[in-house]
Amino acid sequence: MINRRELLTGMAALGVTATHLASAAAGEAGHRVFTAADVHVDGYPTVEAVRWIGKRLEAETNGRLTVRVYHSGQLGRENDTVDLTRFGALDIARVNFASLNNPFPLTQIFALPYVFDSVEHMRRGADSEVGKAVLRGFEQRDLIGLAIYDSGSRSFYNVRRPVVEPPDLHGLKIRVPPSDIFIDLARALGANPTPLPYGEVYSALQTHLIEGAENNWRTFHTSRQFEVARFWSQSDHSFAPEALLMSRRTFDSLCVADRELMLRVAHESVPYMRTLWDQMQEESRTHVIAAGVKVNEVDREAFHRVARPILESYVKKSDLHQRYEGIRALA
């Protein structure tokens, strides 16, 4: 019997496929519209960066190529949009590395706890050979890695109390992405990890299906979760970034010159996205603090001690160890 997720994914696939076929038909006449999906709201830095790509493509091809962005989860959850993109029903998807950790193990190095010391360190890692290798790795599963975007640092927030030490998380139901890394970390810290799709977090906090979550300032703000979860604890436990992915079927259907153009423009969108991120992240932090959210620092050493065995268990793997050493060398 088909379940709800399969039904919704199928319906989304049908709708997007219709759009995709219309775009392809238009492409035969010389004009092509690429369909892009993002779960974040209109105006979010990743949404605006993909729009920027569309405008650049349009300008450089005299209107022959452009991008139509479907934001706010209009085309499904992140995992759903990855599958739709792999199968060619979607052209482009923006997905956080945390949601890619299990099906794409190469992404794990960027999501592990306390691998990076700062946003600047993560950016150096994304721009390094390690980041480039991760982007190339998507080709093994019918995707083209176009770019790595920022997602800031992730911290814990909840409806109950300030979290200063790991015992303060004990017993709290904390939403985590569908990633073994994040599930393992929350459990090690004493919380009850609860994987939920991003779009369901606000209502889950309202109804106390969960009591907290972890994410960045911008998402905490734009998802309005700060209206329910009034305690933010600055743990900075992960800097898991975002992947901008393209369907390999779409990419292979382009002429060589258009492929090169797409890769170049996507690469050039990264500094634009970073500038937006830095500005909007600070705006969001200021907004939620002004709204009365209580913010505290955590005992970093205590959090590091709990997270270290998880980090070490992953980087012992030969394929991650070398990448870990490369990233730490950039600190």
- Cβ-based neighbour number of residue 165 at 10 Å: 16
pTM summary value: 0.91
Instruction: Tell me whether residue 7 is exposed, middle or buried, using C-beta atoms within 10 angstroms of its C-beta: 0 to 12, 13 to 18, 19 or more.
Output: exposed
Topology at the third CATH level for domain 154-239+283-328: D-Maltodextrin-Binding Protein; domain 2 (3.40.190)
CA pair distance 239, 302, nearest whole angstrom: 18
198 pLDDT above the threshold of 50? yes
Domain ranges of the chain: 4-151+240-282, 154-239+283-328
Same fold flag, 4-151+240-282 and 154-239+283-328: yes
pLDDT score, position 317: 80
Show Cβ contacts of residue 59 under 8 Å, excluding neighbours closer than 6 positions.
none
Topology at the third CATH level for domain 4-151+240-282: D-Maltodextrin-Binding Protein; domain 2 (3.40.190)
Q: Rg of the Cα trace of the chain? A: 20
* Tens-digit pLDDT profile for residues 70-87: 999 999 999 999 999 999
20: confidence class by pLDDT, cuts 50, 70, 90: low
Residue by residue, what is the 3-state secondary structure of 142-202?
A: CEEEEEEECCCCEEEEECCCCCCCHHHHCCCEEEECCCHHHHHHHHHCCCEEEECCHHHHH
10 pLDDT above the threshold of 80? no
- Cβ-based neighbour number of residue 318 at 10 Å: 7
Nearest to 96 by CA among 151, 170, 133, 21: 151
pLDDT score, position 28: 47
Largest CA distance in the chain: 62
Nearest to 218 by CA among 1, 33, 43, 13: 43
24: confidence class by pLDDT, cuts 50, 70, 90: very low
